[in-house]
Structure 1
Amino acid sequence: MVVEATPSLKAHGDFLAGLRPGRCCTLACRARAPAHHPAAPLPSDTTDVGWELIAAYLPAGGTGDQGGRPVTYPLRDIVDAIRYLGHNSCVWRALPVDFPPWPTVYHYFRAWTRDGTLTRLHAGLREQVRIAEGRNPEPSAVIVESQSVRAAETVAKTSRGYDAGKKINGR
């Protein structure tokens, strides 16, 4: 059976030509016609192995214990969207439409930042990497970078120091 392309499908194909290869125009479209949407991963997409590590640190039921709507989007899509933003340094409203809506992604990001989920995720993954490398799980040294500002003659010498690297007498 041969199916002719309808004008709406042709227009849809023309629209897709302007998008990044392998990415979809909407999640609904991907569900309707998955055949013309090959899954081309982005560099910021989470791998299956990476997701197994990350998923253990995320809250199971969404962003809080206060109830509310059931989870609509998979948490992996939320994490991929946050990683996309970090990888491409774009603004929230410029998030491509094949990710969950930007207000949803921003909501999860804010909630996870406020409740410490992202801090626990970062610390846990850092610890796993350090153990795998045979190092102490907790960092034992820190590098502090500061800016030296030249002090005026009116500033007391007791509150000034000398930066030998920059040859500046100041703060």
Structure 2
Amino acid sequence: MYDSDLSAEKWALIEHHFEPKDNRGAEPKHDKRIIVSAILYINKTGAQWRMLPKDFPPWQTVYHHYYHWNCRGVWEAAIDELNELYRKKTGKKATPSYGIVDSQSVKTVSYSEERGFDGGKKTKGRKRHIVVDSLGNLI
């Protein structure tokens, strides 16, 4: 059990996004919840795919599922649904009516080609911008 693992309640909210569109082929060897937990472990720890702990499925299997779910937009759909549920839970409309542009200055290595200077924060590096709703969720 890792900190990045989903609880049964959280998994129930997004499980339908990770099920196959049809039932052709053999029964899956690994449970989708374990594969999603492995992907969340990689995301949280920043570990390399090959450094995935042995109690998860093989890294090639986990990466294969991650790649195909990413190409099909499964992650975006799951996150969008979770954002809608969170907005409704906090008394907001399901979709935001406006967005807020936020920026962050990030220090980069001194030999990076893409480097600038943020005069307000006196930081050399890169500035990134995101658009969020009033709750801080990405739009």
Q: Does the pair score TM above 0.5?
A: yes
Counting aligned pairs with the same residue, the percent is 37
Match of 1:119 among 70, 73, 76: 76
* Unpaired stretches in structure 1, ≥5 consecutive residues: 1-40, 148-164, 167-171
Name the structure 2 match of 1:138. Answer: 95
| Unaligned 5+ runs, structure 2 | 105-118, 121-139
Query: Aligned with 2:10: secondary structure?
Result: helix
Give me the whole-angstrom Cα distance separating, in 2, the residues matched to 1:66 and 1:113.
20
Change (3 A) 1:75 1:85: same
RMSD: 2.3
Q: Deviations over 1:97-117 (max 9, x none)?
A: 110111111111111111111
1:49 aligns with 2:14: no
State the match for 1:98 in structure 2. Answer: 55
Which has the larger Rg?
1
CA 1:67/1:78 → structure 2, altered by over 3 Å: closer, same or farther?
same
TM-score (normalised: structure 2) = 0.67
The AA in structure 2 aligned to 1:142 is G
Secondary structure of the equivalent of 1:56? helix
Compute the TM-score of the two structures, normalised by the length of structure 1. Answer: 0.56
Greater strand proportion = 2
Count of aligned positions: 106
1:2-13 to 2 correspondences below 5 Å: none
**Superposition deviation, residue 141 in structure 1:** 2.4
